[in-house]
Structure 1
Amino acid sequence: MQPDAYRDRREAAAYLTAKGLRTSWRTLQKLACIGGGPQYRIYGRLAVYTDQDLDIYADGKLSAPRFSTSEAA
């Protein structure tokens, strides 16, 4: 896809899953209602996402690299 292309929820979930971060389109749908998900835009009746917004969301959910479980705090 082009950098400025938009993805619907199913495509957005597939994009995150292809990066190794399993995500359901239903999860994206729920997060759009309760908050905490990636930024999106409305096009008609569709929620659409950019790759950049999905990458920002994924980076925000990932922790810093760890060497031990004791570093979790």
Structure 2
Amino acid sequence: MNVSIQPRLLSEKEASQYICMSRSCLRQARMDGNRENRTPAPPFIKIGRSVRYLREDLDSWMDSFVRRTHLYQDERAA
């Protein structure tokens, strides 16, 4: 019986693959914090010198970017 275990915590490399974002972009967002006109960094956990990401935090972070309307519709409403 071959059981596949999906870890709850992901390394920076695993997180970057999971959200299809480069490691350097993740690292830069983490260092910059939440700045205007920049994509905010997903929540992360620091354990000693290691940075880890919770899978559910990454899912919530990605869900926060879902658009329900087209950009053109947003511009017309403004």
- Could you tell me the TM-score, scaled by structure 2's length? 0.70
Unaligned runs of 5+ in 1: 18-22
Q: How many residues align?
A: 64
After superposing on structure 2, the runs of 4+ consecutive aligned residues of structure 1 that deviate more than 4 Å are none
User: Which residue of 37, 50, 53 corresponds with 2:54?
Assistant: 50
Q: Which residue of 2 aligns with 1:70?
A: 72
Q: Distance in 2 between matches of 1:25 and 1:72?
A: 31
Name stretches of at least 5 consecutive residues in structure 2 with no aligned partner: 1-5, 34-39
Q: Tell me, in whole angstroms, the C-alpha distance in 1 between the residues paired with 2:69 and 2:62.
A: 14
Q: Which has the higher helix share?
A: 1
Query: What is the alpha-carbon distance in structure 1 between the residues aligned to residue 27 and residue 58 of structure 2?
Result: 14
Alignment RMSD: 1.5
Equivalence for 2:36 = none
| Larger-Rg structure | 2
Identity %: 22
TM-score by length of 1: 0.74
